[in-house]
Amino acid sequence: MKRVLVLCVFAPLVISCGKPQEPHPRPNETRDFGALYAENCAGCHGPEGRQGAAQPLNDAVYQALVDSESLRRVISNGVPGTAMPAFSKASGGMLTDAEISILVDHMKKTWSNTAAITDVPLPPYVADRQGDSSRGRAAYQTFCSQCHGPDGSGGPRAHSIVDESYLALVSDRSLRTSIIVGRQDQGMPGWRDDVPNQPMSPQQISDIVTWLASHRVKGEINLP
């Protein structure tokens, strides 16, 4: 009788030792874009990539502006000094190179729309010319002051963009991206929609970024 009891008690253990069954893949084996995005990106960029605290990723202009390698690099390495962390395992994150590729490839395949950029040449993602702060202030008055106020400290339709706390959290590249792409979820127009029939030139974009960055506390991040 004792032998029977022993066998009955341990039989389930013996059976389960053969081949462990995992109902769900481990995080480092995830191959589904939806799961990867929900776990790693949705908290800041919104559940569908359209609305969140950070720049929407599900935006045709953004996807046209940022090439695949740049997008992969930002996801992998993050942006030091800002709220964007590094996600690659090589940089201390949780995602493998394959998972990052799944995120990038899906965004480029399903969130891009080349037809959305046909009327005006898209400015470069990386500044190709030096900005000038004095010219930037003048350009700011033309394109931005009606929303953010004459000195950038806030206006009737938008918050301050010269606030030290805000500038400490964003890089120059992020400022440039926001100016070009806009924030449709917040009613902020992009580089070609602010003033009718007068899109910003690449030089004006660089100048405005330089003027905004001049308000940043010394020692804070100031990425190109």
Could you give the domains of the chain? 27-116 (1.10.760.10), 133-213 (1.10.760.10)
User: What are the tokens at 53?
Assistant: 């605290």
pLDDT at 224 over 70: no
CB 212 within 8 A of CB 136: yes
User: What pLDDT sits at residue 25?
Assistant: 52
CB 127 within 8 A of CB 224: yes
What's the number of CA atoms in the CB half-sphere (13 Å) around residue 4? 1
| Average pLDDT score over residue span 107-122 | 87
| Average pLDDT score over residue span 3-23 | 38
DSSP conformational letter for 163: -
CA-based nearest residue to 134, from 217, 219, 206, 222 = 206
User: What pLDDT sits at residue 120?
Assistant: 84
Instruction: Specify the pTM.
Output: 0.80
User: What pLDDT sits at residue 8?
Assistant: 35
In the chain, what's the furthest Cα-to-Cα distance? Answer: 94
| Average pLDDT score over residue span 134-157 | 95
Q: Give alpha helix (H) positions in the chain.
A: 2-16, 33-40, 42-45, 60-65, 68-77, 97-110, 133-143, 145-148, 164-169, 172-181, 202-213
